[in-house]
Structure 1
Amino acid sequence: MNPQQYYRKHRKAIVTATSGFLYGGGWSLGYVTSFDTLSAAILVLATIVGGYDIAKVAVHEIRSRTLGIKTLVTLAAIGAILIGEYWEAAAVVFLFSLGSYLEGRTMRKTRNALQELLEMTPDTALVRRDGDHIEVPAHEVEEGEVVIVRPGEKLPVDGVVVDGESAVNQASVTGESAPVHKRDGDEVYAGTVNQEGALEVETTGAGSDTTLQRIIRRVEEAQEAKAPTESLIDRFATYYTPAIIVLAVGAYVVTQNALLALTLLVIGCPGALVIGPPVSIVSAIGNAARSGVLMKGGEHLERAGKIDLVALDKTGTLTTGETSVTNVRGFDYDSGEALRLAAIAEKKSEHHLAGAVLDAARSPDDGVIADGGAYVDGSEGVADRRASGETAAEQAGIPDPEEFTVAAGKGVIAWYEGHEIVVGNRMLLDERDIAVPEAVEEHVHDREESGETAVYVVLDGDVAGVIALRDRVRDAAPSVVGALDDAGVQTVMLTGDNERTARTVAEYVGIDDYRAELLPEDKQRIISELREEDTVVAMVGDGINDAPSLATADIGIAMGAAGTDTAIETADMALMADDLERIPYAVGLSKATRWNIYENVAIAVLTVTLLLAGVLTNYVHLAAGMLVHEASVLAVILNGMRLLRH
């Protein structure tokens, strides 16, 4: 690095040090010798060196009619020189310059989390091209190309594992503390660390089109976005600063004491008041990003600090979302035939329950308990298969339905070989006036009491069977609900599942309030009703299926957003991993941030009040006032930085 580059990089430190050296020398010369003129010249030079950059900004502030702290400092320094208070002028400029330098250094520390993210992605990638392994810049890797990642290396791209098996540390993206096992078909993200075996990854995103880069962009935008308190203080400062100038002029007119007026200019600066809220916001957003929680901006972070109630979706949030069929029972049909009919109807559905039904129909022996009957072949007509006796292994496959309709939140209706197949919940059956025999109702009651979801299978208006499904509750769910309760935050569970299953899950995880058998529009309505009760509501969902509710809530929290562009870009708050424990952490951090902002405002207001009182009673003078003022600025910065360790 040549001298010119070094100077540009460290200009602020050099200017501050030079101003301080000249200030110290000029003051010492005047104190121990009689060279008053030389001492004054050195002190004026110290003022010019340290105040040049400050004055340039002040001129810009005056031209744009946005008077700020640098305008006040410049006016105070010029005024002190004009009345012969050279020591005071140099002291004010040096102390302000030193304070600004220290502010810059400490503020940079609050952005370390973002810098750490920027350094996560390697610059190059080892790509297989034309049978050879070629090292290329990571941003030049094209979608579909295979990247080789050796043990111990960072992944340069987003992609899907196509060969190999390893544990990958995903903390940089998802905040998960433990490595995640990866094998064929699993997603991996740029910036994560391959710890064990070699992996071959087919690229789905490179350069700026990776999950990590989207996180970085979002964090940058969030740190720049202003919170309501910041905006309020900025508006206040636009009136406060001119008021301080008027006060100083008025004090001079009344007292004819120029030094008193200049001191009022300096200590009246709202520096700590203006910088306090943003340093708290930046620290909190950086901490959250490092822990796998993406905040959209200061506005949402500050609002989250007021959360009174958290509404939790059941499937995929309180539960793992990995639903499986636990029991199949046929009524006047073999249980296997009932399952197969359901699979035909659900084949074109994208609902998670449909996936579980199809998996069970394709692998009927994998833990599914059938209440009598055998699985049957698909080559015969529906009416001929009631007691066929052929096994699933002999099936020709699950055919497509001839027609297919989704009843949102209720089930599906399909037509196959001239027969109508209805698969869904009791609401769908009631809507279509389908009678449910007493024996079926008793069976469904027993299944729902045990926490399972019962799905009816109806053929041509008659109940052919019932399929019971279970979605395992997340291990962390009870402790998370308990942590929210300890923080004074209420919880409510919203689910489209039946009342008995909802009650069982709610009792297990410790939620007092739950709402069952809800359609998407019902969830949205309930969120609206809760908000109308002056309750600040957060909704936790998967970011897609619960989109209306997430958008309606004061704070929408998307679960498992890693790799999901929509969730990262649109959620008020996104949990990068499916980690419920991040919810109380995020709520706690938001509340701590809100109080931290209040503390910083209180420190700033109290300092200015005491300094003004000190000036008016002649206890505080220009240099001492600037020293205390800069100390208050550093105090609010250090207080805000505490959030980095929350």
Structure 2
Amino acid sequence: MTDTGITDVRRWLLSHRKLLTTAVSGVLFAVGWSLVYVGYGVSGDVALLVAAFVGGYDVAKKAYHTLRNGTVDINALVTLAAVGAIGIGEYWEAAGVVFLFSLGGYLEGRTMRRTRAALQELLERAPDTAVVRRDGKEVELPAHEVEEGEVVVVRPGDSIPVDGVVTRGESAVDQSSVTGESAPVRKTEDDEVYAGTVNRDGALDVRATGTGSDTTLQRIIRRVEEAQEAKSPTETLVEKFAKYYTPAVVLLAVGTYVVTRDAMVSLTLLVIGCPGALVIGPPVSIVSAIGNSARNGVLMKGGEHLERAGKIDLVAFDKTGTLTKGETVVSEVRGFGVADEEALRHAAVAERRSEHHLADAVLDEYRGRDGYATDGGAETAEHPLPEPETFEVEAGKGVTATYNGRRVLVGNSLFLKDEGVEVPQEVAEYSADREKEGETAVYVAVDGSVVGVISLRDEVRDATADVVEELKDAGVRTVMLTGDNERTARAVAEEVGIQEYHAELLPEDKQEIVEELRGEGNVVAMVGDGINDAPSLAVADVGVAMGAAGTDTAIETADTALMADDLRRIPYAVGLSKATRRNIVENVGIAVATVVVLLAGVFTGYVTMATGMLAHIVSVLVVIMNGMRLTWYR
């Protein structure tokens, strides 16, 4: 055999060590028990002792290390029981306990690996290679070697190897691995795509914006790994309990021997007192739930947040970009004393330096009107858009700009009031009518006089009303928080079925309201875009960031991140969290009931060491399978 062959065999043996030791221990146990049964006592005892050694070596080694660290765990209890059984000549009990414990550990590890299948699926989605255009040629290279800015060629059926922007082509892309969306999404030029998603039917050229470990998929994988390792409150409590419970079992066994002088009963107590099901129950529930949520486009930061989400009784929604699509457009421009186009032009100049989404809508409207823009979006020579000489932003209210000696204000009624600008009755009535339709009215004032009103509309998401109704049916109260005025807020709230809303809020006002809602005894989830609503997301019991795909900040900082802009994931996440809490309680109940029944069985003589270990293993597998039910929760 070649060196490579020997290395492969060694690698295979190491990777299957647990299975092999369990199998050898089981075969020797069966052989030894059979030899003793047919009368070959000495040979049978030797086989049983070897079986105990083979199956118990790793167990004893772990017990030694944990005892050196001052901890008495399940491995120590099994080792003590096996050594004690050998000491009193009960070789078959020692071999049986070790084999069953080894078998239980193997089955436990195998089923736990299945609960992490979601993470493995994500890992498998990441392609190994990419085809890149370099020097006019298509070159295939490892995906992690693609450099930012390079153009990657993605053929139909290929997985996209990088985060990037489509520069040429059109196709449907399956984004389920990242966003949880069930239907492929149409992608054209300038659309974002993510590593690990699958190109369905058309060729795409993609300019890389994130490669290697700096892709959305890799950030998701890191977050899922961290979340599955993070301890939930229940897990922490159970581990603390087990820390004191296990030594108590040893003391109980010693005390029983002192009273009864029955070594077998004492050793059996060591075996059945193992808190295996109690310790494994909560983690398997948490891991299964986090894996499920990751597959469905919902990232949970860890078990603590998953458990807390199960207690949510109030969900506070930001309006713009959350309940609505966040695609604000100008629905109407009305000039007062000036032409509509002139009022729009004043607003466009003032908003030129602004980064607010309402400013983008105003500028898009200005540049999209006939005669005001070229195909490239630049102003024409006839109608150049001046650069304002000064520019100031009043957060949550509006902007002030000056140009050509004129002072322009663009903002809400509160902003104009603060600036001492009076709104004429005609203008106020017009604005009120627009706001009753759910639109946002933005005033334009020049040199202290209102010259126009720009009405903006943001369409409500199709699923919003159904989501609000579903939360109500689940006993969850809903509240809307918005910076819009009272009339616009009322119109949107009525449209989606939310009875309680708070309007004309600044970011700090939203934070204060969330704190007040928590102070009333509610467990509050705040749903927002993860950036503008950062203060209120931070103070909520559970902060939920919408549309986090491709957004580093949201993925890394939010308690929960919805990878797609899909509000339907919120009732799902709340339901999964509640189901997880119930599942954890069930697993703890199964574990405690098993120990109580076995203790009673030991003291009444119905439970032996081997049957006790068998019952222990069965209880561990039962809680694992119960926890794995969360893998299929929908």
Give the shorter-chain TM-score range.
Answer: over 0.9
In structure 2, C-alpha distance between the alignment counterparts of 1:216 and 1:521, rounded to whole Å = 33
Q: CA deviation at 1:6?
A: 2.0
Q: CA deviation at 1:394?
A: 7.6
TM-score (normalizing by structure 2): 0.97
1:639 corresponds to 2:619: no
Aligned ranges 1:136-535 → 2 under 5 Å: 136-364=141-369, 395-535=382-522
CA deviations over 1:526-570 (Å, ceiling 9, x no partner):
001111112111111111010111111111110111111111111
The residue type paired with residue 349 of structure 2 is I
In structure 1, C-alpha distance between the alignment counterparts of 2:258 and 2:169, rounded to whole Å = 82
In structure 2, C-alpha distance between the alignment counterparts of 1:630 and 1:359, rounded to whole Å = 66
In structure 1, C-alpha distance between the alignment counterparts of 2:92 and 2:286, rounded to whole Å = 38
CA deviations over 1:119-173 (Å, ceiling 9, x no partner):
1121111111111111111100111111101111111111111111111111111
1:99 corresponds to 2:117: no
Which residue of structure 1 lines up, in the alignment, with residue 14 of structure 2? 8
Question: Contact 2:334–2:343 at 8 Å: present in 1 too?
Answer: yes
Q: CA deviation at 1:376?
A: 8.2
Among 551, 556, 575, the residue aligned to 2:543:
556
Q: CA deviation at 1:27?
A: 0.8
In structure 2, C-alpha distance between the alignment counterparts of 1:410 and 1:430, rounded to whole Å = 11
Question: Contact 2:169–2:188 at 8 Å: present in 1 too?
Answer: yes
1:116 corresponds to 2:138: no
Q: Counterpart of 2:208 in 1: which secondary structure?
A: strand
Which residue of structure 2 lines up, in the alignment, with residue 37 of structure 1? 42
In structure 2, C-alpha distance between the alignment counterparts of 1:126 and 1:3, rounded to whole Å = 35
Which residue of structure 2 lines up, in the alignment, with residue 25 of structure 1? 31
Aligned length: 622
Q: Counterpart of 1:119 in 2: which secondary structure?
A: helix
In structure 2, C-alpha distance between the alignment counterparts of 1:342 and 1:484, rounded to whole Å = 40
In structure 2, C-alpha distance between the alignment counterparts of 1:124 and 1:364, rounded to whole Å = 46
In structure 1, C-alpha distance between the alignment counterparts of 2:114 and 2:473, rounded to whole Å = 32
The residue type paired with residue 58 of structure 2 is D
Question: Contact 1:336–1:376 at 8 Å: present in 2 too?
Answer: no
- Unmatched 5+ residue regions in structure 2? 374-378
Question: Contact 1:310–1:540 at 8 Å: present in 2 too?
Answer: yes
The residue type paired with residue 313 of structure 1 is D
Question: Contact 2:166–2:204 at 8 Å: present in 1 too?
Answer: yes
Question: Contact 1:376–1:394 at 8 Å: present in 2 too?
Answer: no
Q: CA deviation at 1:438?
A: 0.8
In structure 1, C-alpha distance between the alignment counterparts of 2:630 and 2:520, rounded to whole Å = 31
Q: CA deviation at 1:578?
A: 0.8
In structure 2, C-alpha distance between the alignment counterparts of 1:393 and 1:45, rounded to whole Å = 91
Q: CA deviation at 1:627?
A: 0.6
1:126 corresponds to 2:135: no
Which residue of structure 2 lines up, in the alignment, with residue 387 of structure 1? none
The residue type paired with residue 404 of structure 1 is F
In structure 2, C-alpha distance between the alignment counterparts of 1:343 and 1:126, rounded to whole Å = 43
Which residue of structure 2 lines up, in the alignment, with residue 382 of structure 1? none
Aligned ranges 1:532-543 → 2 under 5 Å: 532-543=519-530
In structure 2, C-alpha distance between the alignment counterparts of 1:393 and 1:331, rounded to whole Å = 25
Q: Counterpart of 2:125 in 1: which secondary structure?
A: coil
Q: Counterpart of 1:580 in 2: which secondary structure?
A: coil
The residue type paired with residue 24 of structure 2 is T
In structure 2, C-alpha distance between the alignment counterparts of 1:480 and 1:107, rounded to whole Å = 33
Q: CA deviation at 1:5?
A: 2.2
CA deviations over 1:197-236 (Å, ceiling 9, x no partner):
1111111111111110111011111111111111111111
In structure 1, C-alpha distance between the alignment counterparts of 2:164 and 2:333, rounded to whole Å = 38
Q: CA deviation at 1:508?
A: 1.0
- Unmatched 5+ residue regions in structure 1? 366-374, 378-391
Question: Contact 1:285–1:294 at 8 Å: present in 2 too?
Answer: yes
The residue type paired with residue 265 of structure 2 is L
TM-score (normalizing by structure 1): 0.95
In structure 2, C-alpha distance between the alignment counterparts of 1:397 and 1:148, rounded to whole Å = 40
CA deviations over 1:76-116 (Å, ceiling 9, x no partner):
00001111111111111111111111001100000111011
In structure 2, C-alpha distance between the alignment counterparts of 1:142 and 1:607, rounded to whole Å = 57
The residue type paired with residue 518 of structure 2 is R
Q: Counterpart of 2:444 in 1: which secondary structure?
A: strand
CA deviations over 1:19-43 (Å, ceiling 9, x no partner):
1111111111111x22212211111
Among 62, 65, 90, the residue aligned to 2:95:
90
